[in-house]
Structure formats: C-alpha cells, structure tokens
Chains A and B, each alone.
Chain A
C-alpha cells in the first residue's frame, strides 16, 4: 500500500514537473488523537474538516481515543508498536512524561522550523505557553485547550441569604462568612464545594499566593524537585477547609468535576472549579450565577499573583516523514488563527491561547455581553513568577491521586491538615524519585 502510494507520489511529482495539474499529487494523511467529548468533540471534528477543505495537500483525521489517560496510554502502545498518531492531545499532568520521552516526540518549535512554517512563540499568552516551554524558551508542545481555576456563585442563593448578589466574596474569610450566612438562612443545602481539589486548593492556590508548590521552580528547572506544599500557608488553608467541612459549610463531592453538578443543580451555592465548567453550568443552571476570581488570603504578601492552567496541549510524535511533519505544521498554523481561537475561547470557556484571540474577543464586546467570562483571562494575563508559572512533575498523575487520597482523609476527619499534607508530600516525593530514575535528562 505504502509502496503503491510512494510510486503514485513519484508519478505525481513527475507530472507536476512536466507542468500537469498539481491536483494529481497524493494527499498526505495524518492522525490526530484527542480526548474531547460532547460539543468539544464536534468542534475538533469541525476544525479538521475545515482544514481539509481549505487545501488539497494534507488531510487530518481527528480520532476520539477516550479520556486523557486512555488516549495517552493508547498512543504509547501505538508508539511501541510503530503506529503512533502524528498529533496527540495530552493533559497537562502528562507534560513531564512527554518531555522526557526523547525520540518519541518532536518538539513543536522544531516541527515548525523544519517545515518552514512561520512561528512566533510571542503571540501566545505567556502563562499558557510558558507551561509547555522548556528552560531555553522553546515551545515543546502546542497549547490547545487550557483552563484555569475560578469561583462560581449562585446569585439567587446569595439574595435569599441576605448577601449582595453583585459583590462576590474576594477572600477566603469572606467566602466562609457568606457560607455561614447561607447555611443559617437555609438558602441552599450546601454552601460551598470544590472540583479538582488538588489543582484548585493546592496547585493553583499556591501560585495564586506566589508560594512554592515544589522546589526547582515547581519542577520547571529539573526533574528531581521536592514537594513543599506542606508549608504553613497550605496547612492553614487545608486546616480551615477541614474546619468548614466540620461546620457543614464545605461539602466534599468528589475528586474531579462531580462537584460541578452539585453547583448547577442548585444544591451548593458556591463552587471553585475549572473555568471550562462555564458552558455546562450555563446550560444547566436554572438560577442566576456569576463567575469571580479565585478567593485568596489578603494577609499573604504578593497575593493574588496568577492562577495556573489545566487542560491539554498537542504533542507531535516522533518518527514521521517529512511530508507528515509539513502537514502537522500547516495544521498547527491553521489552529493558531486568531478568529478560530477566539471562537474556541468563546464557545468552550477555555482560555484564549493567543493574545490576538483575546483582543478580538474583547473588541467584539463578548465579555460585556457575557459577564464573568473574562475572569479567567484576567487571572492569567499577568507576568508569572518562578513560583506561579505552573507545576510540572514526573508521575504527576499518581501524585494527584495521592493528594486526593490524603485530602479525603482530612475531610473525613481521620487526619489533621498537617498530617495529611506531610503524608502527601512524602508519598509524592517517592513518585518523583521513581520517575527521575527512568527519565534522565
């Protein structure tokens, strides 16, 4: 088959040389594996379709491969069998694994340079692109769907509890004062809950307060950092949350996005979770709600700094032909188009990944028409510090699981905040050491 194809290509080249129609040229087909479900899946298919229609040389096949971990495991198995896709969507916690997989991947900046595609890393939002950039300032993967941590509240419940629905609690003490009022007034059965507890309450929380989560710039400056999220600030916050859980202000509802359902069902009046939950909440909530910045502690110097991203980026796999890489480069350029990015941002709740897309959205009046949608962007468009650029760790998937397990122990009252976080740090460090053994830089 491939022989037949390359023969065809040779004939086509000859034909082109003799001045025949270039349309006889063989189409280069590439696979793009992703983990987007529902409406976002449709949007990806639409991107691929539009790209395929926009030119005749390349064809992108977008294939849904299950959840993020499933897509990644599938790609690894495929790579080992010699049939990896050209483009793979990898969630942010898989970043360190991908970076250490030398040979299995081809850095995006190199793909673009080799293909002679115009590529300027500066057009991307720094806090987003920075996560996927190495210490030399080279972009390794292509930022695609990024979200960050924000605060949602039920305006109707606020009104019922005698709170000002137009004023969001800005600090954690204010959140809890509101929670107490909501509970006392019986405005909702649950006052506050949080999705993605490790990401929101520890990773992003630390960055928001410009406090280290791990040494070596949270793992950006080497693959053997030590976790330090058992510092006084984090212990205080987790301890507070435990206290709030005891008082019935905070209801734990799951490790991932399950708590979002508790918010849009009206059961919980306040939620901290991903900015990408906006679409689902808007679709399901039968009450007025508002998005506000993530709360912080006002007595911490440097707070609020910036929150950190979640979501995924696109990695280009190694071992492909020159033509295939050209196809990839063209597709990535296609995706970077400001209009396309602006639409992606506006319809999904993901962050705009280019500054132009943000400007375009702002000028179109989208943020005025949809109050709260710019909160995540504003949290991100600041200059990041070594402590706030993000968290990049080996075996991060396991570390998140460990943090989830230990926090559940804290919420259930089996451990104190200090005990839980100390245990999570110790167990997490073991995972990092284990990763460093297989990933030499």
Chain B
C-alpha cells in the first residue's frame, strides 16, 4: 500500500513563484552584500569613494601578516567555545529541571524565557552595571572580599564579563528548544527504562541525551553563529574590545576597522574571511557531527 506522500504541482511555474519571495529576500539581503564584500576586498579606496584601486589579494595578505588579527582568532575561538559550551550546558540543565518541575512550572519557564527579549546591548549594559569597577554592586562585593576587580585593565575579567552576558542572553533561547525537545521524548520509553531499573542519570545518558541530539545539534550550529556574529553588541557596549585586545573578537575588529577606521577594503576582506569560517564550521558540523545525531 505504498502511497505517494509528496504533493505534486501541476504547473511548472507555481513552485518557482512560491519560493520567489524567499529567494528575492535571500538574494537582495544576503548574496548581494556578500558579493559586494567579496568585490570590495580586492580594492582599497578613500572612505568617500571615487578612487577605487585594485590591489588583488593585498588586503588578505596584510590581514594574515598582522599578528593582531591572528590573535583575534584565538580570542574568538575561546569566546565562541565558552559561549556555545556554557550556553548549551546551562540551558540543558535548566530544561531538564523545568521538565520535571511539578508546581510553578509555568512561572519558572516564563521567567527563564525573559532574557531572550532583552537586546544584546542592553544585556551588556545590565551586566556592566553589576560589574562596573566604579558603580557595580558585584564589584563592590568582590573588592570587599579582597578580589581586585577591574575589567578595564584585566583582560581575563573582561572576557568573563562578555561571556557571562552572552551566555545569559542565549540561555533562554536554548532553553526553549531543549524543553520542547524533552517534551517530545515518549514517556513510555522512560517508563520502560525505569521499570528495567535505570536511575535518572542512566535514563538521561542512554535515552534522553541521544534522543535530544537533533535539538542539541541544531542549537550548536545556532550558538556558534550567535557567538561569532550576534555578540557584537555585547562587546561594543561592555568592553569595546579592550583591555588591549583581550576581547576583540573577529566581528568586533571588522566593525572597528570598517566603521570607525573607515578601512573599507581591509574590513571587507575580514568579512570574507568570516564568511569562509562560518561556512566551513557549518559544513564540518553537518558532515561530522550530524552523523552521530539520531533523528
């Protein structure tokens, strides 16, 4: 009784017409700017335009000869790993507890989702108020506890600040997906395992976590992209890349060189490099990690 599940269109043009708006948006807002960046990365020009000089791959050569650009890779790698790792771990933990909560679950869930509504720059400012060396209440406690807290001078502390703000903001989003994932795990499986004598930890490790893997994988891709790109506002509002270059992640350096420094060719080259990195990371994630995912 094999049944045709797919819907077939009678007219040849209708499917194209239906995806046309999406394609138009993608072309205009994604492919066109990316193409522009690629084009501009081969030139240098005066900020006001009008004297485009072709320089071939000079912009890229300059980038990879710049030790500070290379240092920014390390900062970005550390930051992204910390944000994605901590973000996923904390939200999974919270989701597991929320899933088990009996009373007040709705309140608990709602409160956990709240931070997602906060704009990244605001998140950074909120954390800055807590941790600001002059005004912050937390820094006041830390100072009283004998810890010298001054993230404008201490790179490690600055990194800690932006990681905290970035993770805090992303936890809600991850939490929502994890919770939905947990709720879609058939209760019968868990009950069967419980009857067979598996404790909560064992059940989590052998049933919940593997069945959750599509969600985890999806979130990993989203979180890495988030850490790479969307955390810009957090860095801009909290540390501006400092002290030194301790928190200068790639996307912030790109902005700084392009918009403040008005070096259009150089920052276009940086955005091309970032596109390549993100595409590579996503491909790697899909090819190698996805194989371990059980749908």
Inter-chain contacts of A408 with B (CB < 8 A): 153, 242-244
| Contact indicator A398/B244 (Cβ below 8 Å) | no
Do A412 and B244 touch (CB < 8 A)? Answer: yes
Option from A76, A103, A398 in Cβ contact (under 8 Å) with B47: A76
With A398-B261, A405-B244, A412-B243 already in contact, the answer to whether A439 and B134 are too (CB < 8 A) is: no
CA distance A104 to B51 in the complex (A): 12
Contact (Cβ within 8 A) B262 A255: no
Q: Does A437 contact B (CB under 8 A)?
A: yes
Q: Mark A255-266, 1 if CB is under 8 A from B, else 0.
A: 100100110010
Interface centre among B48, B133, B242 (most CB of A within 10 A): B48
- Could you tell me which residues of chain B, from 141 to 165, have a CB within 8 Å of some CB in chain A? 150, 152-155
Check A405–B134 contact: CB distance below 8 A: no
**Residue A409, interface by CB 8 Å:** yes
B285 interface residue per 8 A CB criterion: no
Residues from 183 to 239 in B contacting A, C-beta threshold 8 Å = none
Known: A254-B152, A255-B242. A97 touches B259 (CB 8 A): no
Q: What residues of A have a CB within 8 angstroms of the CB of B256 in the complex?
A: 398, 401
**In the complex with contacts A253-B133, A438-B45, A69-B260 CB distance below 8 A:** yes
Q: Which residue of the partner chain A has the closest CB to B243?
A: A408
CB of A101 within 8 A of CB of B46, answer yes
Structural contact, A267 and B48, CB atoms closer than 8 A: no
Q: Does A252 contact B (CB under 8 A)?
A: yes
- A97 close to B44 (CB less than 8 A): no
The reply on B245 being an interface residue by CB < 8 A is yes
Give chain A residues whose Cβ lies under 8 Å from the Cβ of B261. Answer: 395, 397-398, 401
A69: nearest chain-B partner, CB-CB: B260
A332 to B53, CA, bound (A): 36
B contact residues, range: 20 to 34
CA distance A404 to B246 in the complex (A): 12
CA separation between A150 and B166, bound complex, in Å? 38
B48 close to A437 (CB less than 8 A): no
Q: When the two chains form their complex, are residues A258 and B44 in contact, meaning their CB atoms are under 8 A apart?
A: no
State whether the Cβ of A100 lies closer than 8 Å to any Cβ in chain B.
yes
| Per-position binary interface string of chain B over residues 19-47, scored 1 when its CB falls under 8 Å from any chain A CB and 0 otherwise | 00000000000000000000000001111
Determine how close the nearest CB of chain A comes to the CB of B251; give it in whole angstroms.
16
- Distance of A250 from chain B, by nearest CB (Å): 11
Residues of A within 8 Å of B53, CB to CB, are 437-438
User: Which A359-414 residues have a C-beta within 8 angstroms of B?
Assistant: 395, 397-398, 401, 404-406, 408-409, 411-412, 414
From B44, B153, B155, B242, residue with most partner A Cβ within 10 Å: B153
Q: B240 at the A/B interface (Cβ < 8 Å)? A: yes
How many whole Å from A270's CB to the nearest CB in chain B? 16
A397 engages B47 (CB within 8 Å) = no
Contact across chains for A409 and B48 when beta carbons are under 8 A apart: no
A254-B152, A398-B257, A398-B263 known; A100 vs B244 contact (CB < 8 Å): no
B71 to chain A, nearest CB (A): 11
- Partner of B263 from the list A252, A404, A409, A434 (CB cut-off 8 Å) is A434
Minimal beta-carbon separation of B60 from chain A (angstroms): 14
Tell me if A298 counts as interface (CB < 8 A to partner B): no
Q: Of all chain A residues, which has the CB nearest B265? A: A438
Shortest CB distance B61–A (Å): 13
Indicate with 1 or 0, residue by residue over A291-326, a CB within 8 angstroms of chain B CB atoms: 000000000000000000000000000000000000
Complex alpha-carbon distance, A80 and B52, angstroms: 13
**Using Cβ atoms and an 8 Å threshold, which residues of chain A touch B150?**
251-253
Q: How far is the CA of A254 from the CA of B243 in the complex (A)?
A: 8
Does the CB pair A73–B259 fall under 8 Å? yes
- Chain B residue with minimal CB distance to A414? B244
- Report the Cα distance A315→B47, complex, angstroms: 15
A76–B266 CA distance with the chains assembled, in angstroms: 17
A414 to B243 alpha-carbon distance, docked (Å): 12
What chain B residues lie within 8 Å of A252 (beta carbons)? 150, 152-153
Q: How far is the CB of B163 from chain A (nearest CB, A)?
A: 19
In the assembled complex, the Cα of A397 lies from the Cα of B53 at a distance in Å of 22
What residues of A have a CB within 8 angstroms of the CB of B68 in the complex? 427
Contacting pair A261 B135 (CB below 8 A) = yes
Q: Is there contact, CB below 8 Å, between A73 and B262?
A: yes
Give min CB distance, A84 to chain B, whole Å: 9
Min C-beta distance of A86 to chain B, whole Å: 15
Say if the beta carbon of B49 comes within 8 Å of chain A: yes
Which residues of A lie under 8 Å from residue B133 when comparing CB positions?
253
Kindly supply a per-residue 1/0 record for chain B positions 131-143, scoring 1 wherever the CB is within 8 Å of any chain A CB and 0 otherwise. Answer: 0011100000000
Interface residues of A in 59-74 (CB under 8 A from B): 69-70, 72-73
Residue B104 lies at the interface, judged by CB distance under 8 Å to chain A: no
Cα distance, A439 to B263, chains bound together (Å): 12
Among candidates B45, B48, B155, B262, residue contacting A79 with C-beta atoms closer than 8 Å = B48
Closest 10 CB pairs between A and B? A104-B48, A408-B243, A101-B48, A398-B261, A69-B260, A408-B244, A73-B259, A405-B244, A438-B46, A254-B152
B residues within 8 Å of A by Cβ? 44-51, 53, 68, 133-135, 150, 152-155, 240, 242-245, 256-257, 259-263, 266
Write 28 A-B pairs (CB below 8 A) sorted by A numbering. A69-B260, A70-B259, A73-B259, A73-B260, A73-B262, A79-B48, A97-B47, A101-B46, A101-B48, A104-B50, A252-B150, A252-B152, A253-B152, A254-B152, A255-B152, A255-B242, A265-B135, A395-B261, A395-B263, A401-B256, A405-B242, A408-B153, A408-B242, A411-B153, A412-B153, A412-B155, A438-B47, A439-B46
